[in-house]
C-alpha cells in the first residue's frame, strides 16, 4: 500500500464536493477514478497534491501524512501530476519544459549559477542527459528544441507526462490523459502508460471517462457520484453495478 | 571541461571586448555631453535588465523600481558625503548623529546601496507575493510612493525635499559601463540556469510550475531581490553621476520610463532591454533637434519644446502596433544566430 485516503471530506462553503471517502492504492497498481461530471474526481486530485486542503480526514503517502504540506513539497516527496487541459509552459522548448521537472534535483545554488561555478556545468549536463533519456523513451527527442505548444495534441500529452516523470515520482496522477484523442492514439497511450509503469516503477492514479481505456488499463476503479463513493473494485464489475449505471444514466427502477 | 572555445562563446567574448574597447574609446575621445549620455545609457541598462528580470522573465507585473533606485541613490549619497559636507547642507532639521558618521568609499557605498535595497525587497516579498497580477502592481506602486514620501518627511536623514547636493562625482564611463556589463552577464547567467527556467515557468503557468515541484515563492523572491540589488546599485551610480538628488527625481515617471524601455525592447528579453535602453535614452537625446526651430526651406517652424516627446510617442505606438511583443519579443541575441543558420 502506497497511498491511503482515510475518511476524506472536502467542503466548499455549503457544498460538499467529497464526502467521507476512503480508499487505498497499492504499489505498482493502476487505479482509476471515474464518475460523472462534477463527481469530485479532480477535487480529489487537488487534495492529494495539496492544492486544496481536506476539510476532514487524512492522506497518507508512504506511511507519512501529507496534510498541510505545500504542493511543491508534495511533488518532492514523489507525487507528480498532469492536468486535464494540457498546461505546458508555452514560451519554452520541449527540452526546457522537461528540465523544469529537474528543478529541485539540480544541486547548485543561486550564486553558483550567477558566477558560473564548475558545479553548475556538471549539474546542467547531468539533468540535460536525463531529460534527453526521458524524451527518447517517449519518442519525442527529435522535437526537443521546438516550442512545446507547436507540437500536435497527442505529442503535447506525451510532453506533459514526460515532464511529470522528470520529477522522479513514485506515484503519477493523470487527469483525463485520453481526453480529445482518437481511438488509435488512445490505444497507443494506454500501452505507453502500462510500459512506463513497469519501466519507471510507478503507481498510477488516473481520472478517465473513456470506459474502454479504463477497462484495458486499470487494475481497480473507484466510482464517485456527487462526492460519494458508490463502487470500488474491478473495472469490469463496475459497469454491471446497478448504482454505477444509475449514476451515469439515471435510475429507471425505483421512484414509486 | 574542454578548453576549446565554442562559436557562441567567441561571439560573447567579441561583444565583451568590443564593449570594453568602446568604453575606453568613448571616455578618451568623445566630448563631455556625449559621455554624459553614454553614462545615462549604461545606468539605465543596469536598471532595465534588472527590472526585466522580475517584470518580463518572471512575469510579476511590479511597479517598484523608483523606490529601490531612490533607496540606492540615498544610501550611496549619505555614504559618499563626509560629516562636514552633510552638516553644512542639512537646512531643515539637524541630521541624526549616526547620519553624520556614515562614510565609505565608492565600492562599498554601491555595495551597501544594493544590499539595503535587496534586504528591503526580501522583507517586502512576504506581503507582496501573497497577491498575483493586477493587485501586485498596485501594492508595488504604493511602495514607490511610500519611499518618496518617507524621503520628504524625514529631513533628519534625507534633508527632505531639498535633497542631497555636492555628492562627489565618482561615476564615470568605466564604472557605469563596467557594472552594466557585469549586470547583463549576471542576469543572463541567471536566465540560462534552472532558476531562469523556473522564473519563465512561473510566468507561463504558475500552477503548473508548482506541480513540477518549483517553490514559486522562493523563485519570485530571488528575482525580486536580485532586481532590487541592481536597482540599488544603479541608483547609487546615478547619484554619483548627477551629484545632487531629491525626492522629485524618483517619481512614478521614473518607473514608467523603465517600463517603456522593457516593453519596447520585448518583455522577457535581456537583449531587448539593452536595445530598448539605447533607443529610449539615446533616442530621446538625439531627437532634441525636434524641439528646436526647424527650417524646411519653404517653411520655418518656431521652437516647439516637447515636440520630441510627441514624435517619440508616435514611434512607440507604431512599434506596439507592428511588433506587439516588442522589438525582440522573448528572443535573445543567440536565438537570432540560430535562426540565421537555418
The per-residue pLDDT for range A6-15, each reduced to its tens digit, is 999 999 988 8
Distance from CA of B313 to the nearest CA of A (A): 29
B341 falls in which pLDDT band (50, 70, 90)?
A: very low
- Asked if B215 is an interface residue toward chain A (Cβ–Cβ < 8 A), one would say yes
A3 touches A61 (CB < 8 A)? yes
Nearest-5° Cα angle at B119, B115 to B125: 140
Chain A residues within an 8 Å CB radius of B213: 72, 75-76, 101, 103-104, 167
CA distances from A126 to A122, A134, A145, A187 (A): 6, 13, 18, 33
Compute mean pLDDT per 10 residues along chain A, 256 residues long, and list them: 92 90 92 89 92 92 91 94 92 94 93 92 94 94 92 92 94 91 90 93 92 90 89 87 81 58
**Confidence grade of residue B342 (pLDDT, cut at 50, 70, 90):** very low
Contacts of residue A76 in chain B, CB cutoff 8 Å?
Answer: 213
Chosen from A46, A91, A95, A107 to mutate, greatest number of chain B CBs within 10 A: A91
Q: Per-residue confidence at B1, pLDDT binned at 50, 70, 90?
A: very low
Which residues in chain B have Cβ-Cβ distances shorter than 8 Å to A164? 211-212
Q: Which of A89, A96, A103 sits opposite B213 (nearest CB)?
A: A103
Strand partners, A205: A31, A173
At how many degrees (to 10) do helices B216-242 and B173-191 cross? 170
Supply the pLDDT for residue B3.
Answer: 54
**A69/chain B closest Cα distance in angstroms:** 12
Q: Could you give the CA distance from residue A252 to residue A8 in angstroms, rounded to a whole number?
A: 31
B268/A contact by beta carbon, under 8 A: yes
Report helix, strand or coil for A213.
helix
Q: Is residue B225 scored above 70 in pLDDT? A: yes
How many CB atoms lie under 10 A from the CB of residue B106? Answer: 17
Across B256-280, average pLDDT: 92
Is there a contact between B194 and A108 if contact means CB atoms under 8 Å apart? yes
Residues 6+ apart with CB under 8 A from B226: B50, B53, B118, B187, B190
Are A100 and B197 a contacting pair at CB < 8 A? yes
pLDDT attached to residue A194:
93
Identify the pLDDT of residue B339: 59
Residues of A near B (Cβ–Cβ under 8 Å) read 49, 51, 70-72, 75-76, 80-81, 83, 87-92, 96, 99-104, 106, 108, 110, 113-116, 118, 120-121, 124, 127, 163-164, 166-167
Question: For residue range B272-329, what is the model confidence (pLDDT) as tens digits?
Answer: 999 999 999 988 888 888 888 877 778 877 877 888 888 888 888 888 888 888 888 8
- β pairing state of A15-25 and A3-12: antiparallel
B290: closest CA among B276, B299, B301? B301
List of chain A residues whose C-beta atoms are within 8 Å of the C-beta of residue B212: 75, 80, 100-101, 103, 163-164, 166-167
A-B contacts at Cβ under 8 angstroms: 93
CB contact under 8 A, B214 and A72: yes
Chain centroid to Cα B140, Å, comes to 16
**What is the per-residue pLDDT across B89-142, written as a single tens digit (0 to 9) for each?**
888 888 888 888 888 999 999 999 999 999 999 999 998 888 887 888 999 999
Q: What percent of chain B has pLDDT over 70?
A: 97
pLDDT at B292: 81
Residue of A nearest to B187 (CA): A114
Classify residue A90 by burial, with Cβ atoms within 10 Å: 0-12, 13-18, 19+: middle
Band (B198; pLDDT cuts 50, 70, 90): very high
Please tell me if residue B134 touches chain A, with a CB cutoff of 8 Å. no
pLDDT, mean of residues B15-19: 91
Q: Which residues in chain B are contacts of A70 at CB distance < 8 A?
A: 215
Residue A206 sits at φ, ψ, to 5 deg, of -135, 150
Q: Which domains does chain A have, with CATH numbers?
A: 25-54+67-78+169-256 (3.40.50.300), 87-167 (no CATH)
Q: Which of B12, B210, B212, B221 to mutate to test the interface with A (most CBs of A within 10 A)?
A: B212
Query: Which residues of chain A make contact with B200, given a CB cutoff of 8 A?
Result: 89, 91-92, 96
pLDDT score at B318: 87
Residues of chain A neighbouring B198 (CB-CB closer than 8 A): 100, 103
Amino acid at each position: 500500500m502506497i497511498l491511503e485516503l482515510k475518511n476524506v471530506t472536502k467542503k466548499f462553503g455549503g457544498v460538499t464536493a467529497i464526502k467521507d471517502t476512503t480508499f487505498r492504492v497499492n504499489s505498482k497498481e493502476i487505479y482509476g477514478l471515474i464518475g460523472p461530471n462534477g463527481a469530485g474526481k479532480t477535487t480529489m486530485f487537488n487534495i492529494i497534491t495539496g492544492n486544496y486542503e481536506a476539510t476532514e480526514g487524512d492522506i497518507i503517502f508512504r506511511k507519512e501524512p501529507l496534510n498541510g504540506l505545500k504542493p511543491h513539497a508534495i511533488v518532492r516527496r514523489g507525487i507528480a501530476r498532469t492536468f486535464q487541459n494540457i498546461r505546458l509552459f508555452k514560451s519554452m522548448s520541449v527540452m526546457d519544459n522537461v528540465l523544469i521537472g529537474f528543478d529541485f534535483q539540480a544541486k547548485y545554488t543561486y550564486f553558483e549559477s550567477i558566477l558560473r561555478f564548475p558545479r553548475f556545468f556538471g549539474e546542467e549536463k547531468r539533468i540535460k542527459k536525463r531529460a534527453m533519456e526521458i524524451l527518447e523513451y517517449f519518442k519525442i527527442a527529435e522535437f526537443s528544441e521546438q516550442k512545446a505548444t507547436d507540437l500536435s495534441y497527442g505529442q503535447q500529452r506525451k510532453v506533459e507526462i514526460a515532464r511529470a516523470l522528470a520529477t522522479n515520482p513514485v506515484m503519477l496522477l493523470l487527469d483525463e490523459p485520453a481526453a480529445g484523442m482518437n481511438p488509435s492514439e488512445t490505444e497507443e497511450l494506454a500501452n505507453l502508460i502500462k510500459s512506463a509503469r513497469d519501466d519507471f516503477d510507478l503507481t498510477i492514479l488516473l481520472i478517465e471517462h473513456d470506459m474502454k481505456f479504463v477497462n484495458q488499463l486499470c487494475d481497480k476503479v473507484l466510482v464517485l457520484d456527487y462526492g460519494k463513493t458508490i463502487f470500488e473494485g474491478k473495472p469490469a464489475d463496475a459497469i454491471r453495478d446497478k448504482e454505477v449505471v444509475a449514476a451515469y444514466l439515471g435510475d429507471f427502477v425505483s421512484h414509486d | 571541461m574542454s578548453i576549446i572555445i565554442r562559436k557562441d562563446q567567441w561571439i560573447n567574448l567579441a561583444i565583451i571586448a568590443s564593449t570594453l574597447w568602446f568604453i575606453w574609446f568613448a571616455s578618451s575621445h568623445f566630448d563631455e555631453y556625449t559621455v554624459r549620455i553614454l553614462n545615462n545609457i549604461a545606468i539605465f541598462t543596469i536598471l532595465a535588465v534588472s527590472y526585466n528580470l522580475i517584470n518580463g522573465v518572471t512575469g510579476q507585473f511590479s511597479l517598484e523600481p523608483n523606490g529601490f533606485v531612490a533607496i540606492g541613490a540615498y544610501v550611496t549619497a549619505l555614504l559618499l558625503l563626509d560629516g562636514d559636507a552633510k552638516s553644512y547642507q542639512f537646512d531643515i532639521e539637524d541630521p541624526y548623529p549616526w547620519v553624520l558618521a556614515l562614510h565609505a568609499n565608492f565600492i562599498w557605498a554601491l555595495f551597501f546601496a544594493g544590499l539595503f535595497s535587496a534586504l528591503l525587497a526580501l522583507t517586502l516579498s512576504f506581503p507582496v507575493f501573497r497577491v498575483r497580477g493586477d493587485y501586485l502592481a498596485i501594492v508595488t506602486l504604493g511602495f514607490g510612493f511610500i519611499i518618496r514620501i518617507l524621503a520628504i518627511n524625514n529631513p533628519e536623514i534625507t534633508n527632505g525635499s531639498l535633497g542631497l547636493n555636492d555628492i562627489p562625482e565618482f561615476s564615470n564611463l568605466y564604472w557605469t559601463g563596467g557594472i552594466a556589463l557585469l549586470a547583463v552577464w549576471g542576469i543572463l547567467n541567471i536566465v540560462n540556469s534552472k532558476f531562469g527556467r523556473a522564473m519563465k515557468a512561473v510566468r507561463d503557468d504558475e500552477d503548473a510550475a508548482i506541480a513540477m515541484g518549483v517553490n514559486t515563492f522562493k523563485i519570485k523572491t530571488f528575482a525580486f531581490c536580485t532586481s532590487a540589488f541592481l536597482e540599488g546599485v544603479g541608483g547609487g551610480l546615478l547619484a554619483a553621476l548627477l551629484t545632487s538628488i531629491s525626492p522629485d527625481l524618483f517619481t512614478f515617471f521614473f518607473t514608467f520610463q523603465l517600463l517603456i524601455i522593457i516593453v519596447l525592447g520585448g518583455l522577457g528579453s535581456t537583449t531587448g532591454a539593452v536595445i530598448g535602453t539605447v533607443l529610449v535614452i539615446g533616442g530621446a537625446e538625439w531627437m532634441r533637434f525636434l524641439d528646436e526651430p526647424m527650417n524646411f526651406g519653404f517653411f520655418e517652424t518656431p521652437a516647439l519644446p516637447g515636440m520630441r516627446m510627441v514624435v517619440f510617442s508616435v514611434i512607440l505606438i507604431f512599434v506596439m502596433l507592428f511588433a506587439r511583443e516588442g522589438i525582440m519579443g522573448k528572443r535573445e541575441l543567440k536565438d537570432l544566430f540560430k535562426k540565421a543558420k537555418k
